[in-house]
């Protein structure tokens, strides 16, 4: 038997209703912050991620699904969307449009990771990108919007973590200092940290191995090495968050796992997700456009949330949101069938969820109860001949007859009881 590929899964009803709820909530919050949807291909040239995300990151080095196309070009299933959004921004010259470009996306990403709770090889992200401004107010607004999405989806008990990772002016000196300190302690750390200490020292701070944390805590803090511009930028972000009443914790070791971040970085975690507890993360990426070969300056800030993890966190607290179901049934014969089809069409046009079911009434009612249907509309030979319909309240077990012309009023009256 052929099964789903390892690391992928089918999202089935009723769980899919929770996904739809989360996505509709996110779309509405994005709308209120004046974000507009962008849909990029799931396939991109491999170079986009190698340059943008960083050749020495775990994503590029270990996790991407990369293959050679028939023309010899190297393609990759997108492991994240920010680089793709920036590529589209540059390619279509969105910089020539007025104002900050606020874009959001919802869709699948692909990484060949070890499966864990809330982590899949095909996973889904909801994210937003604001491109065209270096203002720290935009950083704070993105964090504010992220929190609003989580709150509106019903998530509680989350924690906002923030940091600044400096810029190309102040970070190089800090990286050199970090290299010196790591030369002394890296041999005591995990294999990945030993490699990162040489190739990408900042990534050591992103290590999640518990045994390495005491060592990491002894390493220098980048907050002590920010230049005045970066320090002022971070101070403004914090003041705006304080003004908005958003609780947060400054984490000097928070650097994220992607090379394009600079200045503000942030995560939102949730204790119900175990060791992989990050539900949302993001930051500023003012140099991303240049890193992928653009001559256009495109400073930006954004975030992405793991939709899989968010759904896991909120699905137990969400109540049934689907509208009541009406079963329309008929007996044998073209006249009764046509009457049932017409009745169902009328209800659907009014936004009432309906299903046509053929068969003996006893069997139809059994199925209706299993489907948690609220009402049955019966189109029998006698009803059709007299221009009427029989209706049965499947909860109160009450049945009555009404004129066919009164169908909509009768159904609404029953469903609103």
More confident residue, 103 or 359: 103
Which residue has better confidence, 107 or 179? 107
SS3 390: strand
Domain shared by 232 and 347, yes or no: no
Shared domain check, 252 and 379:
no
Mapped onto helix, strand or coil, the DSSP state of residue 172 is helix
Question: Smallest Cα–Cα separation from 181: which of 157, 159, 197, 200?
Answer: 197
State the Cα–Cα distance between residues 182 and 161, nearest whole angstrom.
25
Q: Give the pLDDT confidence score for residue 318 in this predicted structure.
A: 62
Residue 230 banded pLDDT, cuts 50, 70, 90:
very high
| Residue 94 φ/ψ, nearest 5 degrees | -70, -15
Please indicate, yes or no, whether residues 305 and 338 belong to a single structural domain of this protein: no
Q: What is the pLDDT of residue 278?
A: 84
At 150, which CATH number? Answer: 3.30.930.10
Query: What distance in Å separates the CA atoms of residue 31 and residue 104, rounded to the nearest whole number?
Result: 10
Contact 326, 368 (CB under 8 A): no
Rounded distance between C-alpha atoms, residue 40 and residue 59, angstroms: 19
Q: Is residue 8 part of a domain?
A: no
331 falls in which pLDDT band (50, 70, 90)? confident
pLDDT digits (tens, 9 = 90+) for 256-285: 656 678 899 999 988 765 556 888 999 999
CA atoms lying within 13 Å on the CB side of residue 91: 9
Tell me the three state secondary structure of residue 74. Answer: strand
Residue that is last in its domain, among 264, 280, 314: 314
Domain limits at 359? 325-415
Stretch 210-219: mean pLDDT: 85
pTM: 0.84
| Claim to verify: residue 261 and residue 361 sit in the same structural domain | no
Q: Are residues 26 and 109 in the same domain?
A: yes
Asked whether residue 220 is domain-assigned, the answer is no
Q: Is residue 203 part of a domain?
A: no
Please report the pLDDT score of residue 90 as a whole number: 93
pLDDT at residue number 185? 82
Check residue 15 and give its pLDDT. 85
pLDDT of residue 199: 80
Enumerate the H helices of 134-277 as residue ranges.
136-152, 171-185, 191-199, 213-216, 228-244
385 in any annotated domain: yes
pLDDT tens by residue, 190-199: 888 888 888 8
Same structural domain, 273 and 330: no
Which pLDDT score is estimated for 345?
93
Asked if the structure places residue 335 within a domain, the reply is yes
Q: How many CB atoms lie within 10 A of CB 107?
A: 15
Checking if the pLDDT of 321 tops 60, the result is: no
C-alpha 388/C-alpha 65 separation (Å) is 61
Secondary structure class of 6 (helix, strand, coil): coil
Give the residue-averaged pLDDT of 28-34. 95
265 touches 254 (CB < 8 A): yes
How high is the pLDDT of residue 58?
62
The closest of 163, 208, 200, 164 to 182, measured between CA atoms, is 200
Q: How far apart are the first and last CA of the chain?
A: 48
Q: Using pLDDT thresholds of 50, 70 and 90, give the confidence band for residue 235.
A: very high
Looking at the predicted structure, is the pLDDT value of residue 320 above 60? no
Q: Is the domain of 140 the same as that of 263?
A: yes
Q: What is the mean pLDDT of the chain?
A: 88
Same domain, 380 and 406: yes
Q: What is the pLDDT of residue 250?
A: 95
Number of domains within the chain: 2
Shared domain for 50 and 131, answered yes or no, is yes
Tell me what pLDDT residue 254 has: 85
Query: Do you know the residue count of the chain?
Result: 417
Residues 305, 368, single domain; the answer is no
141-174 pLDDT, tens per residue? 999 999 999 999 888 889 999 999 998 888 888 8
Instruction: State pLDDT tens for residues 108-151.
Output: 999 887 766 667 889 999 999 999 999 999 999 999 999 999 99
pLDDT at 244: 93
Residues 364-378 have pLDDT tens digits of 888 888 888 999 999
102 found inside a domain: yes
Question: Does residue 30 have a pLDDT over 60?
Answer: yes
Tell me the C-alpha to C-alpha distance, in Å, between residue 98 and each of 30, 89, 139, 208.
19, 13, 19, 42
Sort strands 122-131 and 74-77 into parallel, antiparallel or unpaired.
Answer: unpaired
Among residues 291, 314, 337, the one where a domain terminates is 314
Query: Per-residue pLDDT tens for 55-88?
Result: 556 667 678 889 898 999 999 999 999 999 999 9
Task: Identify the band that residue 344 occupies on the pLDDT scale cut at 50, 70 and 90.
Answer: very high
Residue 67 and residue 20 share a domain: yes
């Amino acid at each position: 038997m052929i099964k789903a590929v390892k690391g992928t899964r089918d999202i089935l009803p009723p769980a899919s209703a929770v996904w739809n709820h989360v996505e509709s909530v996110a779309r509405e919050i994005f709308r209120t912050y004046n974000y507009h949807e962008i849909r990029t291909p799931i396939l991109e040239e491999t170079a986009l991620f190698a340059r943008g995300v960083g050749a020495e990151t775990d994503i590029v080095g270990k996790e991407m699904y990369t293959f050679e196309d028939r023309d010899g070009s190297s393609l990759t299933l997108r492991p994240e969307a920010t680089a793709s959004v920036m590529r589209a921004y540059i390619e279509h010259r969105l910089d020539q449009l007025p104002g900050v470009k606020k874009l959001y996306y919802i869709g699948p990403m692909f990484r060949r990771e070890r499966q864990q709770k809330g982590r899949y090889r095909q996973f889904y992200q909801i994210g937003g990108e604001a491109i065209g401004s270096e203002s720290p107010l935009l950083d704070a607004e993105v964090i504010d919007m992220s929190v609003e999405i989580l709150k509106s989806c019903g998530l509680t008990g989350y924690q906002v973590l923030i940091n600044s990772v400096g810029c190309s002016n102040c970070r190089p000196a800090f990286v050199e200092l970090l290299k010196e300190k790591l030369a002394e302690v890296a041999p005591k750390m995990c294999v990945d940290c030993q490699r990162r200490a040489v190739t990408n020292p900042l990534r050591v701070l992103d290590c999640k191995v518990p045994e390495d944390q005491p060592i990491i805590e002894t390493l220098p803090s980048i907050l002590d090495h920010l230049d005045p511009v970066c320090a002022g930028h971070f101070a403004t972000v914090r003041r705006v968050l304080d003004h908005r009443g958003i609780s947060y914790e400054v984490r000097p070791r928070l650097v994220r796992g992607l090379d394009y971040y600079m200045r503000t970085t942030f995560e939102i975690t949730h204790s119900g997700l175990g060791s992989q507890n990050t539900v949302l993360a993001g930051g500023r990426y003012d140099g991303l456009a240049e890193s992928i070969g653009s001559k256009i300056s495109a400073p930006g800030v954004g975030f992405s949330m793991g939709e899989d993890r968010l759904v896991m966190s909120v699905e137990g607290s969400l109540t049934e949101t689907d509208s009541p179901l009406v079963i329309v049934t008929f007996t044998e014969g073209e006249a009764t069938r046509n009457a049932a089809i017409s009745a169902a069409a009328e209800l659907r046009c009014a936004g009432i969820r309906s299903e046509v079911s053929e068969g003996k009434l006893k069997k139809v009612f059994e199925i209706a109860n299993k489907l948690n249907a609220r009402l049955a509309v019966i189109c029998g030979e006698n009803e059709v001949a007299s221009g009427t319909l029989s209706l049965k309240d499947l909860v109160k077990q009450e049945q009555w007859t009404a004129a066919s012309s009164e169908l909509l009023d009768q159904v609404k009256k029953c469903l609103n009881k």
